[in-house]
Structure 1
Amino acid sequence: MPLIDRNTRGVYVIAATPFADDGALDLGSIDTLVDAYVEAGCDGMTILGVMGEAPKLSPEESRAAIARFMARAPKDFGTIVGVSAPGTDNLVRLAHSAMEAGAAGVMVAPIPGLALEAALVGYYAQVCEALGPDVPVVFQDYPQLTGVKVAASTILRLTRDYPQIVMLKHEDCPGLSKLQAVREGSGTADTPRLSILCGNGGIYLPQELQRGADGAMTGFAWPEMLVDVCRLHHAGKVDEAEDLFDAWLPLIRHEQQPGIGIALRKEALKRRGAIKSAKIRAPGPSLSAADLAELTRLIARTEARVAAIGGRTGGKLAA
């Protein structure tokens, strides 16, 4: 599989980790989920991220999931593996295992408690040295989760000093000015270009693209929206891209609800036939009858609006 680099762009959808109703890892649904992402037109996927419930998997399950995702993905479909962990040794072992299985790169978030820039830089120095020069790294900037605030100047320093850091997953919020500062500060005489893909459910995607992002890395249950918005934008059809995004916005916003967003996404993926069960491992949210009925109505209204402007709405759905 191709490795990510400083010019990588497009959509690397954040993959769910499918579980059976009894909580067991559902390897069969990994196959159908990968097929759905490929059919949607994604350029790749990111597995074992926040949406992938990575902390709830055992080391053996993580390796089994990586192997199954890799085995199903086409050769030109890049797979990034989230390897963030409290212990550097565990992080490095999982990263090397993923790369041996054919990963396109690994994603590493700062560990909580790195309040000073020197500590953050020291941490990534240690990680990059342990990983070695041939492992492409995605720096995940998600202070809402990690509690670690990182300045644009520090991100630029990291990618300048550690060539393995080739991509930024931008999730800071508010963060448009920061994204723009990173874009304008990389690809210069002294700082190499840094690929930027954006998360946060895609809720700010049009503005992020307009500020210089290369694409999306998030887990919206209709990834064809992410694909089509990015392709329209990159083709110079900026207003058309934003119009399509606006038609999907009710569902994008709905999925971004703190606490139940992952449950809504898994339920939607189940209804689309991508996975068999919407099971989330404990501790985790569950949806009430009112939540399910609300989602049914919102899907119908949004898909009708998207279809009316000629947009793709994707695969099957059941109430």
Structure 2
Amino acid sequence: MAQLINRQSRGVYIIAATPFTDQGAVDHESLRRLVDFYISHGVSGLTILGMMGEANKMTGEERRAVIDTVLARSGDLPVVVGVSDPGMANLAELSRYSMDKGASGVMVTPAAGPAREDRIEAYFHDVCAAIGTDVPVCLQDFPLATGLPISSALIRRLSQACDQIVMLKHEDWPGLAKISRLRGDETAAGTKRLSILTGNGGLYLPQELQRGADGAMTGFAYPEALVQTVALHEAGRREEAEDLFDRYLPILRHEQQPGFGLGVRKYILMRRGAIASAATRAPGPKMSPTDMAEADRLMARLARALQGDLPRL
């Protein structure tokens, strides 16, 4: 059985895409192949049904089927399930279903509404009460997508007051100072440590690691880049970590285009043999022939860049 996420969790919890057929159905065979692909590249865990997993476009039955497929394939690898939902009862039900099936925790984003911290604070207290005290929570802080900024002070209050909130998915941008503040808080007696994994495609991963992040929770189509960067950093080889990471930056940057980037990510995953189709579920981005040729060129350039000597553990 996989270990539950906790305040010491580290490494790369890759955000998994959800493969669809060209007709728009969930492709469970590709999903199993994708899990194998991620595992083969050494990830520490998986996160499914996040924003880039297109969970908001799925029915409840489809979400449960995705959970079933991934957990049946992932073995003892920790799996975090995105359970955010406008309805608290739906969120609690999916959380319980996930944990009963063997998930290692759930990820929750603030509910839509006024950008007031008292409302967000009350919401997470309600979530923790609704899902039960045995369910570890990863709080997703992604104000660029949600429009709901969460201060480091509020994150700390929630982490202190709610034992279940053990992990932060940090996606504030700019946000390096927030990581520094959160880690600085932990020098005070009685302050609980918080696992911090970062998103935004990994754009700022080397700097985030240097500020005190424990790893990444994002979905770059080259998971080995994230895994090796984190491993080199952990080994104290920070310059080598940045040198390696820099080789991937052009294609990583291309994949981070708002809205369109998911199409790029899925296309690259398809070209790498991880999924059968690059289809996104409507409404979603579609790659034109020019877009595909552009991505192919970036992949070829990366392959040439990787032919040189690379720092390895």
Same fold per superposition (TM over 0.5):
yes
Q: 1:24 maps to what in 2?
A: 25
Q: Per the alignment, in what secondary structure is the counterpart of residue 308 of structure 1?
A: coil
Tell me how far 1:131 sits from its aligned partner. Answer: 1.1
Question: Is contact 1:187–1:193 with CA below 8 Å preserved after alignment?
Answer: no
Q: 2:303 maps to what in 1?
A: 303
2:266 matches 1:266: yes
Gaps of 5+ in 2: none
Q: 1:250 maps to what in 2?
A: 250
Gaps of 5+ in 1: 313-319
Q: Per the alignment, in what secondary structure is the counterpart of residue 138 of structure 1?
A: strand
2:228 matches 1:228: yes
Q: 1:129 maps to what in 2?
A: 129
Q: 1:238 maps to what in 2?
A: 238
Q: 2:15 maps to what in 1?
A: 14
Identity in percent: 54
The one-letter amino acid paired with 2:70 is F
Deviations 1:56-84 (A, max 9, x none): 11000000000000000021x10000001
C-alpha distance in 1 between matches for 2:260 and 2:308: 29
Question: Is contact 1:30–1:275 with CA below 8 Å preserved after alignment?
Answer: yes
C-alpha distance in 2 between matches for 1:51 and 1:162: 27
Q: 2:275 maps to what in 1?
A: 275
The one-letter amino acid paired with 1:44 is G
C-alpha distance in 1 between matches for 2:309 and 2:290: 29
The one-letter amino acid paired with 1:74 is G
Q: Per the alignment, in what secondary structure is the counterpart of residue 166 of structure 1?
A: strand
Tell me how far 1:311 sits from its aligned partner. Answer: 6.2
Question: Is contact 2:240–2:311 with CA below 8 Å preserved after alignment?
Answer: no
Q: How many residues align?
A: 311
C-alpha distance in 1 between matches for 2:113 and 2:83: 18
Tell me how far 1:310 sits from its aligned partner. Answer: 2.5
- TM-score, normalised with respect to structure 2: 0.97
C-alpha distance in 1 between matches for 2:236 and 2:299: 29
C-alpha distance in 1 between matches for 2:81 and 2:259: 23
Tell me how far 1:182 sits from its aligned partner. Answer: 1.0
Tell me how far 1:260 sits from its aligned partner. Answer: 1.0
Q: Per the alignment, in what secondary structure is the counterpart of residue 270 of structure 1?
A: helix
C-alpha distance in 2 between matches for 1:188 and 1:2: 28
2:37 matches 1:36: yes
Tell me how far 1:190 sits from its aligned partner. Answer: 2.4
Q: Per the alignment, in what secondary structure is the counterpart of residue 92 of structure 1?
A: helix
Deviations 1:5-33 (A, max 9, x none): 00000000000001111111111111100
Q: Per the alignment, in what secondary structure is the counterpart of residue 12 of structure 2?
A: strand
C-alpha distance in 1 between matches for 2:147 and 2:187: 28
